[in-house]
Amino acid sequence: MSDLILFAILPYVALGIELSVSLYRYFGGSYKFSSLSSEFLEQKELFWGSTAWHYGILMVLLGHVLGFLFPKEVIAFGNVSWRLLVMETSALTFGLMALVGLVLLVRRRASRARIRAVTTKMDVFILLLLLIQVASGVGIAVVHRWGAMWYASALVPYLRSLFILEPNIGLVAGMPPLVKLHLVNAYLILGILPFTRLVHFLVLPISYIWRSWQIVIWNYDRKKIRQVK
Amino acid sequence: MNVRSQISILFHLDKCIGCHTCSIACKNHWTDRKGAEYMWWNNVETKPGTGYPHRWENQEDYKGGWTKDGSKVSLKGSGKFRGLKNIFHNPNLPVIDDYYEPFTYKYEDLFTAPECDDQPIAKAVSLITGKEMEIKAGPNWDDDLGGSPLYARKDPNLERLTQQEQDDLFQVERLVMMYLPRICNHCLNPSCLASCPSGAIYKRGEDGVVLVNQEKCRGWRMCVSGCPYKKVFYNWNTGKSEKCLLCYPRIESGQIPACMHSCVGRIRYLGVLLYDADQIEKVAHADEDKLVEAHREMILDPFDAKVIAAARANGVHDSVIESAQHSPVYKFVKEWKMALPLHPEYRTLPMLFYVPPLLPILGKMEQDLYDTSDEAYFTTIEKSRLPIKYLASLFSAGNEGTIREVLKKMMAVRIHRRKETVGDINAVEKALTEVGLTPKIADDIYRLTALAPLEERFVIPPAHREEAIEMTKMVLVEQGDTGFGFTEQPSRM
């Protein structure tokens, strides 16, 4: 019963909240969409924490997404032992990088009076969830080896079953508790995301790459003005 | 020809007395609220001095503005890939301590302190943390410290001077300072805009005001380091960048921007300039010593029939063209060539121009008597207390000829007026012809400099969106309001 709630209902609830609240907040005036950067108040410690965390977590997320999109290819790739070893070590390295970065960021937030002044309860909450998520992820990588392979073969089918709206909780029933924690915590993060500063990752400024350098906006219709004499 | 109009500003530094009334007017209008306490969209700094934020002109550290890069100009610190790569940590960002930590005092202690032998004191409290703090810097911290080793000597502009020239500058008898009021330059090639990853900053087509869209800003803070003048500020409370908006709600309703209206010395002028937007790239790429000249060239003559036709075709309203014809800024910048942009070498094409100060010229002393002969009046420009090289570093990317030309013109006008009012000088004609002035023009310059009433100093074009202001929040309703934009209050998650 609890499996049903945690692995078949919770994901949909979380995704529903994520999408609806994010869209509502974005289109209902997106004033609050900001990275809420605190670099202006403390710059030096932020470098190690922020850089390690962001690059680490982005690579780890990329790994998860690749495994989800191309499970067969990942398994084929990992069939040669040295390649599997490369996958495993790089995943663990980036995971550790994210963990170290996150710990540094938490320490910075806790120890600096200026940063505490701009810390909200929601910040503490999301940091806690992220800490659990990354720690459990690194824990899984250490305790349950060759995650790339069993993730692609055993967990991806479950995740895919969610996407085709036929959740197959039988696939997760036998998973170790650490993996279950990782999954449930991920859903919690997803659901809480639109209420936190984490929304900044939904508005990554990719369009910067192709937009023109300068932006000029007219407040009135230039053609119309021309006709007024 | 792609004619656009720009509301342009002129500061006549010869008249600035450094009273900071402008800064206070701006502060009261726009930045008296949480997260913005440290911001001075308008500030006045003493030069030589380090300025605000500390040593903002040092682009080796802050990497603001553009730099020549082959056949193009590229951003010095940011840029598309470099900007995105540094998005998690911007190494060039000035931090709060480069400005100052905002503070207030525990005034209550003065009333609640128990009776004792000593005077009670009000301790300083940080406006960020709310904790007691030691004040290490504040607004105008280096005000009037002309000779101080901590401030004046750390002025980045002194790097252009030789050691001997620097030492001369700081001799006690020669000590000198000038005031440099600064607001956003509303550039034609703004590097804050170009560095913004979200595309939240934009330039208004009809009047050239550069604004930060508060709803699109995501706090990536590349604009703060990208602006070489450090005139985009990061609000640490809302996580958004803010900047001088040239009081556009005032301009749109025909009022004069607050800093300018309140100026005691009447140093400020405002008017429309028409310019050719097709030339922006070319001018931004000009050689350093030709930058001022190229910048001047792209400003168009509003009386030229061809320019008028092109402006009309481009949607510039007739009333704006008419306004450009009466622009005091046009006269100073283009007709008389007396006003110069601040640090043109940053290549952002700033549209705020300065008439450099004709500081008290060092009198020539012979046998304890000041030489007041005709000759002395004119030749002493070379010996002006503030080295021409220093002014050139500020206003002409090092081109001393440009500065000399302007100072001579100002001097010629003075000599001309001396002749008119006192009549003890005869070298007027020589002085005027040498700088290409006629008595008529000299009188015009004198009039606009010294006598011009409000309507001649500020020629504001109709905005043609007079009703638009009614959609926005009433400005100045209550303290702590953002005062602009729609009604959503700033808050953190």
Check residue B371 and give its pLDDT: 67
Residues of A in contact with B196 (CB under 8 A): 208
Token pair 């004499």 is found at A229
Residue A6: partners with Cβ closer than 8 Å, 6 or more residues away = A180, A183, A184, A187
Check residue B375 and give its pLDDT: 63
Residues of B in contact with A211 (CB under 8 A): 199
Q: What is the pLDDT along chain B (493 residues), one digit of tens a residue?
A: 899 999 999 999 999 999 999 999 999 999 999 999 999 999 999 999 999 999 999 999 999 999 998 889 999 988 888 889 999 999 999 999 999 999 999 999 999 999 989 999 999 999 999 999 999 999 888 899 877 888 899 999 999 999 988 888 888 777 888 999 999 999 999 999 999 999 999 999 889 999 999 889 999 999 999 999 999 999 999 999 999 999 988 898 889 999 999 999 999 999 999 999 999 999 999 999 999 999 999 999 999 999 999 999 988 889 999 999 999 999 999 999 999 999 999 999 999 999 999 876 656 666 777 666 666 665 667 777 788 999 999 999 999 999 999 999 998 998 899 889 988 877 888 889 999 999 999 999 999 999 999 999 999 998 776 555 554 545 555 555 555 544 455 566 5
Q: How far is CA A222 from CA A227, B239, B247, B468, in A?
A: 9, 34, 23, 16
> For chain B, how big is the Rg over CA atoms in Å?
24
Using DSSP, state whether B493 is helix, strand or coil. Answer: coil
Residues of B in contact with A51 (CB under 8 A): 88-89
Calpha distance A143→A145 (Å, rounded): 6
Using DSSP, state whether B92 is helix, strand or coil. Answer: coil
If contacts are CB pairs under 8 Å, which of residues 211-230 in chain B contact chain A? 214-221, 224
Whether B99 and chain A come into contact, CB under 8 Å, resolves to no
- pLDDT tens figures, A133-174: 999 999 999 999 888 899 999 999 999 999 999 999 999 988
Across the interface, do A209 and B81 touch by the CB < 8 Å criterion?
Answer: yes
Q: Is there a contact between B351 and B398 (Cβ–Cβ < 8 Å)?
A: no
Whether A111 and chain B come into contact, CB under 8 Å, resolves to no
Check residue A228 and give its pLDDT: 45
Q: What is the ipTM of this complex?
A: 0.91
Calpha distance B491→A118 (Å, rounded): 11
Q: Which among A105, A140, A141 is positioned nearest to A126, based on CA atoms?
A: A105
Check residue B252 and give its pLDDT: 85
Q: Which residue blocks in A28-80 are alpha helix, DSSP H?
A: 44-69, 71-78
Residues of A in contact with B36 (CB under 8 A): none
Q: Is there a contact between B357 and B11 (Cβ–Cβ < 8 Å)?
A: no
Fold of A2-227: Fumarate Reductase Cytochrome B subunit (1.20.950)
- Give the β-pairing of B299-300 and B268-276: antiparallel
A105-143 as b/e: b if 16+ CB within 10 A: bbebbeebebbebbbeeebeebbebbbbbbbbbbbbbee
Across the interface, do A32 and B90 touch by the CB < 8 Å criterion?
Answer: no
Region B265-457: CATH code: 3.30.70.20
Check residue B360 and give its pLDDT: 64
